[in-house]
A and B are shown apart, each in its own frame.
Chain A
Amino acid sequence: MTDVKNLEELFQAKVDGELKIEPKDWMPDGYRKNLVRQISQHAHSEVVGMLPEGNWITRAPNLRRKAILLAKIQDEAGHGLYLYSAVETLGTTREKTVDDLLGGKAKYSSIFNYPTLTWADIGAVGWLVDGAAIMNQVMLCRTSYGPYARAMVRICKEESFHQRQGYEIMSVLSKGTPEQREMAQDALNRWWWPSLMMFGPSDANSPHSAQSMKWKIKRQSNDELRQTFIDRTVQQAEVIGLKVPDPKLKWNESTQHYDSGEIDWTEFNNVVAGNGPCNKERLAARNKAHDDGAWVREAAMAYAAKKAKRKAA
């Protein structure tokens, strides 16, 4: 027991001293589990997140937008790959991690259970959803687990490009015809609150937060990140003449932040529990891709085995 206690103390001292924890270092079981949960959820979010955006590839309004959207979604697939690899450094195989998603056991960001109804939603997703994700990811570049932190550095660079292109779509629409403007405002209206929910429950109700902060997996609280996002995004909306759908939104001179209305956590809990507009479709699409691809993966394995055998002979 003393040994484990010593190891834990050494581990915490390392974390407190801002040294990165690497795959072969000793770590508490809880730290490993917490990371596997968080990184795999993050990986699943990247992969499931391809679906609502993919919904508009074949209807993108011009060739430039179509190429950008394809490249963006391809980036998300790449992020999924890095993150599944980061989970593997913690001793959990990609197959197991993916199976947990397909079986409905693992979670992914609930935001992707909302539908992309118009082209403006592609702008809103880039601007707000990627914008909210970046808040978290910038913080994670300094997370205590080395492979996760390093994956995040690269991911952040690409995500900030994604956010800019989303904002640019919204900006063009807001300067367009009355119908385009309405489309942009409607997308903001629908995506605003779900985007704020992306930061997770308030600190008081967030089950994993305190321990994650102590282990420096997380470095800022959900509420702090959410506030930074609101402060930035409200100003960006003003620049392009769109209105954030929160009647209680008001600049507060004394705090130097925006005050805002209450989030409807009943909706959040409902979507997390599987009752969002697209939960079933998203999971069904991932399962279909996986099942339809089974023979392809088997063929690749069978051919590789044959080839290896021939080489050995």
Chain B
Amino acid sequence: MTQQEALFAYCLRRGDDNLILSHRLSEWCGHGPQLEEDIALTNRALDLIGQARNYLQYAGTVEGKQRSEDDLAYLRAERQFMNVKLVEMPNGDYAHTIARCFLYDAWHLPLQQALMNSADEQLAAIAAKAVKEITYQLKTSGDWMIRFGDGTEESHRRAQAALDELWTYTGELFETDEVDAVLVKAGIVPEMGPIKAAFDAKVDAVLNEATLKRPADGFMMTGGRQGKHTEHLGFMLAEMQYLQRAYPGATW
């Protein structure tokens, strides 16, 4: 695998994670539990779509085949999406939505902080902008985990159920393969070890304050990074890509 191929794959992974999670969050727009939360979730969706666009544009440049951000988002099929399964799971109740955001943010922040030192200037610049956004997002998702865990009996039960269900999808966040190996060697992406340690520390601290129990690391789902997804992704793409597929080549 060449460095260019690895960098292209890496940008797709980052772009797809953000794109798909943004899409799920955008489904809440107009349906949030409180107007303030509706605004906050939409903010999150907007931050993530912005980050996705940065990565997909850069992926197109790296690939050098004139593919735009929209070609990559709207004209790839299920098996060509490289996001983790965690982000494609349906929203569930608000506790599921928040727990997923929290787990994602707790991984995403240290990863992006490390990417600020990337030998690749573009990745470093994307990370510098993203870190400001994710710092805030992690604070809010962590605060909600604490409110839910230490709120009412019902909110505690819902938050714990969400964590228990989603935990099996967190393993994928830390998987590494040849793509990472090539780029780590070139100083373009960080080693995953310290990212996992930062994730563990943050999750433990927040769950402790939230009086929630950290699920045991048992069986972990895998496959997303190889384009082997859950059945949910196909439906999401069918909806998302509908206009581009129905009217090929049209400008919007």
Listed in ascending order, the chain A residues whose CB lies under 8 Å from chain B are 47, 50-51, 53-54, 57-67, 70-71, 73-74, 77-78, 80-81, 84, 119, 169, 172-173, 176-177, 179-180, 285, 288-289, 292-300, 302-303, 306
Contacts and interface: CB of A to CB of B under 8 A. Distances in A.
A67 B23 CA distance: 10
B27 A58 contact: yes
A70 B45 contact: yes
Chain B facing A: main interface SS: helix
Interface in B18-60: 19, 23, 26-27, 29-39, 42-43, 45-46, 49-50, 52-53, 56
Contacts of B74: 61-62
Given A62-B244, A71-B46, A77 B35 contact: yes
Interface stretch (B118-126, B151-159, B162-170): B151-159
A58 B251 CA distance: 18
Contacts of A63: 19, 49, 52-53, 56, 69-70, 73
Contacts of B247: 177, 179-180
A285 B74 CA distance: 29
B220 interface: no
B141 to A, nearest CB: 14
B249 to A, nearest CB: 8
Contacts of B78: none
Given A299-B147, A299-B155, A303-B151, A47 B35 contact: yes
Contact of A77 (B38, B93, B152, B154): B38
Nearest to B27: A58
B146 interface: yes
Contact of A295 (B43, B70, B154, B239): B154
Given A58-B239, A59-B243, A289-B32, A67 B49 contact: yes
Contact of B26 (A62, A70, A285, A298): A70
Considering residues B19, B38, B53, B150, which has the most beta carbons from chain A within 10 angstroms of its beta carbon?
B38
Interface of B: 19, 23, 26-27, 29-39, 42-43, 45-46, 49-50, 52-53, 56, 69-70, 73-74, 93-94, 146-148, 150-152, 154-155, 158, 236, 239-240, 242-244, 247, 250-252
Contacts of A65: 252
Contact of B251 (A80, A172, A297): A172
A299 B151 contact: yes
B32 A299 contact: no
B33 A67 contact: no
A296 B33 CA distance: 7
Contacts of B155: 295-296, 298-299, 302
14 contacts: A50-B30, A51-B30, A59-B242, A61-B244, A71-B46, A81-B39, A177-B247, A285-B31, A289-B32, A293-B32, A295-B154, A299-B151, A300-B147, A302-B151
Contacts of A295: 152, 154-155, 158
A165 B29 CA distance: 19
Given A61-B243, A61-B252, A81 B35 contact: yes
A292 B93 contact: yes
Nearest to A94: B35
A251 B113 CA distance: 62
A67 B46 contact: yes
A256 to B, nearest CB: 37
A61 B154 CA distance: 39
Given A66-B26, A296-B33, A74 B46 contact: yes
Contacts of A294: 33
A179 B32 CA distance: 35
B26 A297 contact: no
